[in-house]
């Protein structure tokens, strides 16, 4: 079951999620982002039917049933569109891992250089798929119990901390999550993970502004390579995708 995607410029904030099980075309000149609800079953097939034995074993190690279900549905949801792009059964897809832990497709299965990234938080996941150019995605559930000051002082740059402090009180919580998801999406795109300290680069903190990578160790020219885009998921979540080039177009889907 497919649906016509909605083209978006990466800097366009408002998003309407086209309903569709999977995108219809190989993402040569665009990036597909799918929103997946992990509290709802997949529309077709069984999660267990496409997971590898190590994934099933990993799911079984979760203490809570809800976490096992979320893990299985997330793995199922990102195998299915990759199978469409690669034109191979989902059960045959194999992953390799960078030193940072970032997954990528096995080289012999990926002649067209598909790039993908997955993030999930609570009952929601985001899956981004593109071609050749690196990308990363992060989603976080906005929680009221987070201490914005402590978290900001521990992980954010001096520039970001100063920007958060001058935000009106009601914007500090959404500002913190806007900042956090933009930073995480960038790190996931580069594949550096924790190898690149969070405090050594700055992104936009105002939750109502388009996200930008403002500087890296004081170098403002470094931001030109990367283009983060805000993804409007729902009121309780914040999500950002980071793209390596400015002309990538986003096509966004509600997977279930």
What is the predicted pLDDT for the residue at 245?
74
Selection from 139, 116, 142, 185 nearest residue 36 by Cα = 139
What is the predicted pLDDT for the residue at 102?
82
Task: Judge contact between 124 and 62, C-beta under 8 A.
Answer: no
Query: Over the stretch 67-108, which tens digit does the pLDDT of each residue have?
Result: 888 888 888 888 888 988 888 998 899 998 887 778 899 999
Containing H/E element for 207?
Answer: none
What is the predicted pLDDT for the residue at 80?
86
pLDDT tens track, the chain, 256 positions: 233 333 344 444 444 555 554 555 778 778 899 999 998 876 555 666 788 788 888 888 888 888 888 888 888 888 888 988 888 998 899 998 887 778 899 999 999 899 999 999 999 999 999 988 899 999 999 988 888 888 888 889 999 999 999 999 999 999 999 999 999 998 898 887 656 778 788 888 999 988 887 777 666 666 677 788 899 888 899 999 998 876 568 888 888 8
Selection from 12, 3, 26, 2 nearest residue 250 by Cα = 12
What is the predicted pLDDT for the residue at 99?
79
What beta strand segments (E) does 151-236 contain? 201-203, 213-216, 227-231
The full length of the chain comes to 256
Give Cα separations from 44 to 7, 66, 92, 153 (angstroms): 26, 20, 18, 45
Nearest 5°: phi and psi at 181? -70, -35
């Amino acid at each position: 079951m497919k649906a016509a995607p909605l083209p978006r410029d990466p800097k366009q904030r408002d998003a309407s999620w086209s309903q569709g099980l999977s995108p219809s075309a190989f993402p040569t000149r665009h990036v597909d982002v799918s929103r997946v609800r992990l509290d709802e079953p997949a529309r077709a097939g069984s999660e267990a039917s496409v997971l590898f034995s190590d994934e099933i074993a990993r799911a079984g190690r979760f203490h809570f049933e809800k976490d096992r279900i979320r893990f299985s549905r997330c793995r199922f949801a990102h195998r299915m569109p990759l199978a469409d792009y690669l034109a191979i059964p989902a059960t045959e897809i194999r992953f390799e891992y960078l030193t940072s832990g970032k997954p990528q497709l096995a080289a012999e299965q990926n002649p067209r250089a598909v790039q993908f990234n997955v993030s999930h938080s609570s009952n929601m996941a985001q899956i981004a798929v593109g071609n050749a150019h690196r990308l990363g995605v992060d989603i976080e559930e906005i929680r009221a119990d987070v201490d914005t000051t402590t978290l900001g002082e521990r992980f954010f740059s001096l520039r970001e901390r100063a920007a958060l402090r001058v935000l009106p009180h009601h914007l500090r919580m959404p500002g913190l999550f806007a900042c956090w998801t933009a930073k995480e999406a960038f790190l996931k795109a580069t594949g550096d993970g924790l190898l690149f300290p969070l405090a050594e680069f700055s992104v936009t903190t105002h939750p109502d502004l388009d996200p930008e990578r403002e500087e890296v160790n004081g170098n403002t020219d470094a931001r030109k390579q990367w283009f983060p885009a805000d993804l409007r998921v729902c009121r309780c979540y914040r999500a950002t995708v980071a793209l390596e080039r400015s002309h990538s177009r986003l096509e966004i889907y509600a997977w279930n």
